[in-house]
Amino acid sequence: MIFAQKPPMGWNAWNYFGYADINEQVVRETADAMVEKGFRDAGYNIVQVDDAWLLQKRDENGDLQPNPERFPSGMKALGDYIHERGMKFGLYAGAGVMTYANCCGSYGHERHDAATFAKWGVDVLKYDFGYIAPGCNIENLFRRMGQALRESGRDIMLAACYGSTTITPWIRSTGASMWRLSGDITDSWDSIVKVAKNALSVGGYSGPCGWNDPDMMVVGLDGKGFVGGIGGGCTLNEYSAHFAIWCMLSAPLLMGHDVRNTTPEIAEILLNKELIAINQDDLGIQAFTLPPMSNDDFILAKPLYGGDIAFCLINDWDVPKRMILSWEYCGWEVTDRVRIRDVINHTELGEFECGTDIIVPAHSAVVWKATRI
């Protein structure tokens, strides 16, 4: 199997449930909700358990042990439940002697643990990087787990989580299909913009089978849950912009809210088929930043398969802002005539020549799909 031809999509437990509230009932109910609310059919097909699912010690056979209070049925049974609903089972492990939640790490046990994950039916392994033994080589630790997964007897995608852009020149060579670029996102507009701009600095490293990962999404947290309590929450406009930016970045789309309690407004954002299509575009090019025409405009352009271009005009100011779009710097001539569609509101805007402009509300984004005529 060739992993991640397109950016992975799914759900991860961490942003809402953190290390204190995750358990098998939550995961099973989330899997059911992803089916019932249409997320699976929209492409969100990974259900991933993050840190704090396991104990601090291994059993007498050297196996990782699920927390029996939180996961009394065991991880294979949980994986089977997810698979029966047509989705993939994602699990978390750490490259150090302990995970960040003080659970057992995989350092020195990579082959053994990879075989265990295969036995449990794991499809995606999020491999984090904490409590590393002094003197360890970063690249080697990721290579060890990447190789162990390839030898495990099961196709398991490696999602590397180091949290820095410094890994981008070599991380793909470990076998990783996605890689975290920064520390944890929080449920705030400032954090969303910060991690997005960080990802833009390494756009050339992202593409089919290997994707820059700004972080899991906070859309719909509304100040609730683990990360929601840290950031405090966002407005609907901010969440809409957040999702639009992640789609432009060809970022993995991993939901982080409590899917069971998804509101209609949040579902509308996350199930926008036109934005998802931009994220999942066959070309797989991450958006780049256009030179600002005025007022430090923050505008992204993403070339699409077939010749169209998606533009995202982001107002990160605290007041409404008139923003100017020119297609001079995206491969077209400034005088080219183009037809524009608003893919957030699903409306045709007409034909334009020599660019156009719009007033974008504060902390909001507009996404246009443009076709040269």
Write the pLDDT tens digit of every residue in 309-359. Answer: 999 999 999 999 999 999 989 999 989 999 999 999 999 999 999 899 999
Quote the tokens at residue 354.
Answer: 């020599």
**φ and ψ at 308, to 5 degrees?**
-70, 165
What Å distances lie between residue 290 and 47, 243, 293, 326, 330, CA to CA?
35, 20, 9, 9, 8
Packed helices 236-248 and 189-200: angle between N→C axes, nearest 10 degrees: 10
Q: What is the pLDDT of residues 255-274, one digit of tens each?
A: 999 999 999 999 999 999 99
Which of 223, 264, 263, 273 lies closest to 243 in space, CA to CA? Answer: 273
Instruction: For the beta carbon of residue 25, count every other beta carbon within 10 angstroms.
Output: 12
Q: What single-letter amino acid sits at 180? A: R
Which 3-state string (H, E, C) describes 253-277? EEECCCHHHCCHHHHHHHCCHHHHH
Q: Is 184 a catalytic residue?
A: yes
Which of 262, 295, 309, 322 lies closest to 11 in space, CA to CA? Answer: 262
Strands 321-325 and 309-315, sheet pairing: unpaired
Helix, strand and coil percent figures for the chain, each rounded to 5: 30, 25, 45
- Output the pLDDT for position 293: 78
CB 249 within 8 A of CB 199: yes
- Output the pLDDT for position 332: 95
Rounded distance between C-alpha atoms, residue 45 and residue 47, angstroms: 7
Per annotation, catalytic residue among 51, 113, 184, 316: 184
- Output the pLDDT for position 134: 87
Print burial letters for 118-136: b (CB count within 10 Å at least 16), e (below 16): bebbbbbbbbbbbebeeee
- Output the pLDDT for position 355: 92
- Output the pLDDT for position 114: 98
Please tell me what DSSP assigns to residue 192: H
Q: Is 128 a catalytic residue?
A: yes
Per annotation, catalytic residue among 128, 222, 281, 297: 128
Regions of the chain with pLDDT less than 50: none
Quote the tokens at residue 201.
Answer: 């600095």
**φ and ψ at 307, to 5 degrees?**
110, -15
Q: What single-letter amino acid sits at 25? A: Q
Cα 203 off chain centre by = 15
Region class of 167: left (phi > 0), else alpha (psi between -120 and 50), else beta: alpha
